[in-house]
Amino acid sequence: MIWRTTNRQAIIALKSNFKIMKRFISGISMLLLATGAIAQQSGFARFVIHYKFIHVQDTSNRAHPFTQEMILLAGNQASVYKAPPRPHIGNASDLPIPKFGSEYYLFPAKKKIVRVEGLFYAYRLDEIWPTIDWQIKSDTATKGGLHCQKATTHFKGRDYIAWFCPGLPLHAGPWKLNGLPGVIVEAYDATREVQFLFAGLDKGDSANLIQLPKDAIKTTDAELARLKVTAQKNPEAFSKALTIQAGGVPGKSGPQIDMKPMAPPVINNPIELPEKKAK
């Protein structure tokens, strides 16, 4: 009975979340028009910068930080920082968007930043444009053969050191870091708890489009957090509900989503820290 009650509560919570999703989907055509306008202006990447992202998420386990390969597609009018594309796994009946993780789209001319979160579906969250007060230094260094210059700033609770390349004349960088007279090819905070380490550079082409996902569902942090909690509490019910939402019959036909139980990572040291109050 306990399992059934928990299962029923999870399904009720899921239905509530899917009502929210349907509300957003009903206005998706308007969203696509706006997205299409931005996409047409964004074009493709001139440069593709590779990073090794390192983040000490759990300060009690510093020996095992979170690490991930990331890329920055930097174009004249927009940039996106995301994980490199993975090869498709499965057959044609699989759900078309089994995405996870975060992507950051920056549109400097419009002072617009969009974060896209993946939880089987893509969710779009509009954020406040990050204004960063950079101090450009005279120090120089070479990163992978690129001549770079040093800059420092305090941003989102951390003191950052960045190395930008004037030879790559775009105001782009990893995550939300931007605004220097050259692409930020490497950056890290003073404690080295957050690091975006340079790992390579490729020339971009028309295949490297910078475009918001057309199917992204506009949402808020609070609504997305509720959906994640529901998925963690009862992954079986969550999987069944998503399978039905995708047009399949759980365990029988159509797209199948099987979410395994997984403990959420311990994060007591987020990238963005609260600002310390002045004494």
Is the pTM above the cut of 0.95? no
Residue 267 within any structural domain of the chain = no
Residue 174 within any structural domain of the chain = yes
Total number of domains in the chain? 2
Residue 260 within any structural domain of the chain = no
6 and 39 fall within a common domain = yes
35 and 162 fall within a common domain = no
190 and 211 fall within a common domain = no
pLDDT of residue 233: 79
73 and 140 fall within a common domain = no
111 and 31 fall within a common domain = yes
66 Cβ neighbours under 8 A, 6+ residues apart:
53, 54, 55, 56, 57, 265
pLDDT of residue 21: 45
Residue 96 within any structural domain of the chain = yes
- Report helix angle 2-26 to 221-233, nearest 10: 150
46 and 166 fall within a common domain = no
218 and 125 fall within a common domain = yes
44 and 141 fall within a common domain = no
176 and 80 fall within a common domain = no
11 and 141 fall within a common domain = no
Residue whose C-alpha is closest to residue 134's, from 98, 102, 181, 93: 181
Residue 273 within any structural domain of the chain = no
Residue 105 within any structural domain of the chain = yes
With 0-12 CB in 10 A as exposed, 13-18 as middle and 19+ as buried, what is 262? exposed
178 and 216 fall within a common domain = no
Structural domain that includes position 192: 135-197
Number of alpha carbons in the 13 Å side-chain half-sphere of residue 42: 25
112 and 21 fall within a common domain = yes
* pLDDT in 10s for each residue of the chain, 279 residues: 333 444 455 445 545 554 444 443 344 333 333 444 444 346 899 999 999 999 999 999 999 999 999 999 999 999 999 999 875 444 433 333 445 689 999 999 999 999 999 887 889 999 999 889 999 999 999 999 999 999 999 999 999 999 999 999 999 999 999 999 999 999 999 999 999 999 999 999 888 999 998 888 899 999 988 888 887 777 777 777 766 666 666 666 555 556 666 677 899 999 999 988 765
Residue 252 within any structural domain of the chain = no
pLDDT of residue 55: 98
